Amino acid sequence: WVGVRAETARVDRFVSRVGADASARERERLARGVVLLDPPRAGAGAEVVTVIAALSPSAVVYVACDPVALARDLATFAELGYRAHDGIRGVDLFPNSHHVEAVAVLRR
């Protein structure tokens, strides 16, 4: 896929670097893009959410394994203008276990 890039760095360090170093052209490209965010059980946290929202992606796909962390991060995204307009879906990625992932697509 042209323009797709997978990052395996710690998300807090990566988004902080992108937020600080992105040129105007890169920010324009990022504003047309989609962020796929799959944070650890503790959630992304306010710092990461704030930097992602400042990059103004067209959408954020948030995959969560903990509903409390998801709710906390969605509240921060909402303060920054992003909402889960299509609701939140439960996805059973690990059949025969108690784990259910929640997926929300956030848009401004």
Q: Which residues are catalytic?
A: 65
**CA–CA gap between residue 22 and residue 38 (Å, rounded):** 22
SS (H, E, C) 57-105: CCEEEEEECCHHHHHHHHHHHHHCCCECCCCEEEECCCCCCCCCEEEEE
